[in-house]
Copies of this chain bind each other. A is one copy, B any other.
Amino acid sequence: MASNCVLLFQCEDKKGIVARISDFIYKHSGNIVSLDQHSTDPDGGYFFMRVEFIIGSPGCDEESLNKDLSAVGREFKASYKLYDKNVSLRMGIFVSKPDHCLLDLLYLWRSSELKVKIPFVLSNHQDHKELVEQYGIPFYFVRSVKGDSKEHEILSYAKDNSDFLVLARYMQVLSGDFLKNYARDIINIHHGFLPSFKGPNPYQQALERGVKVIGATAHFVTEDLDDGPIIEQAVEYVSHKDNISSLLRKGKNLEKRALSNAVLNYIDYRVIRHNNTTIVF
């Protein structure tokens, strides 16, 4: 039985990285399925690489594989991580009233297009309880994550049960403490074309500014609201005929598209953060 491994590798760019890594894979009888690399500047820039390869049993956890890899890492002073594609990530979902992104994720999940585990859905509204539980997923109603004891409880639950979080139109702001302590990736969908129209009611803002294109933005959450690294954006043309309700309707499609694409790329280990930007291989 073979394993699908993904290696993400980054370091200062210099000669021989690709040769060294592909040789390492070859020595372990790995077969490269895909390889992407990006350098901010071949002369003194920073280097990023994603290699997906297949190796025979016992797979990505093989001791000798990891030992050799750590030698390569040291050699290039790299930061790197090896993932086993057969192990599904655990994706916790936070959601408020709007349900279109939640439904889209659940649909993709049930039809096996989104290969994750969903350990829980947390909401500050009761509305989606029945729906979520029909899918056999635990649902938690929490009016507000903020508040000392509650925040701590949720944080520790989330840390124990999830590898990353998706805010699928979650309207509350997570505290800096929460972000710092959760210390894993949190993906948010903003219903505006960032960096325009931060904050609440972006479609109303778009209407007032009279833009001819609207958008939605999936990004990593950071302490600076709506300012984290952008993963995916989706856009659509609008006109003076559009009113707030048609913008909201068009926006829903954009939000679903941007968020599901971002999550699909993320769980396939295609998204790398670099400063305040992302590389999406």
Contacts and interface: CB of A to CB of B under 8 A. Distances in A.
Contact of A241 (B38, B211, B213): B38
Contact of A23 (B19, B31, B33, B100): B19
Contacts of A278: 210, 240
A144 interface: no
Interface string A37-62: 11100110000000000100000000
Interface string A50-80: 0000100000000000000000000000000
Contacts of A232: 212
A205 to B, nearest CB: 9
Nearest to A260: B253
B54 A32 contact: no
Count this chain's copies in the assembly: 4
Consensus secondary structure, chain A interface: mixed
Nearest to A240: B279
Nearest to A210: B277
Interface string A92-113: 0000000010010001000001
Interface string A229-267: 111110101011100000001000100010000000000
Interface stretch (A154-162, A170-178, A190-198): A190-198
B210 A276 contact: yes
A121 B45 CA distance: 42
A16 interface: yes
A35 B34 contact: no
Given A25-B19, A113-B249, A193 B210 contact: no
A183 interface: no
Contact of A195 (B18, B54, B211): B211
The 7 closest A-B pairs by CB, nearest first: A210-B277, A19-B22, A19-B26, A18-B22, A240-B279, A212-B233, A16-B26
18 contacts: A13-B31, A15-B29, A15-B32, A18-B35, A19-B19, A19-B23, A20-B26, A22-B23, A23-B23, A34-B39, A38-B240, A113-B249, A193-B193, A208-B277, A210-B229, A233-B237, A239-B280, A240-B280
